[in-house]
């Protein structure tokens, strides 16, 4: 991570990265990687809402 805390990848780059991570052989690793990418796609101002939406869509996981 750069010193100022800003990431150099755009949300679109993170979305593409998510596609690659979703193909991981281990499904748990794939899900965790996708959730991390979800946070980066939504950025500092949106990741908490994205996690709340994720919990709402999958209530048994939360």
Q: What pTM was computed for the model?
A: 0.68
Per-domain residue ranges for the chain?
11-61
- Residue 40 CB coordination number (10 Å): 19
Instruction: Provide the mean pLDDT of the chain.
Output: 82
Q: Where residue 2 falls among pLDDT bands split at 50, 70, 90? A: very low
Q: pLDDT for 22-42, tens place per residue?
A: 888 998 988 888 898 888 888
Q: Is the pLDDT of residue 10 over 70?
A: yes
Residue the block writes with tokens 């796609």: 41
Contact yes or no for 37/18 (Cβ under 8 A): yes
Helices 27-57 and 11-21 meet at what angle, rounded to 10?
A: 120
Give CA–CA dist 6/43, Å, rounded: 10
């Amino acid at each position: 991570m750069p010193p100022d805390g800003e990431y150099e990848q755009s949300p679109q780059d993170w979305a593409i990265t998510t596609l690659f991570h979703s193909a991981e052989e281990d499904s748990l690793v794939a899900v965790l990687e996708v959730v991390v990418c979800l946070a980066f796609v939504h950025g500092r101002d949106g990741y908490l809402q994205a996690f709340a939406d994720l919990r709402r869509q999958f209530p048994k996981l939360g």
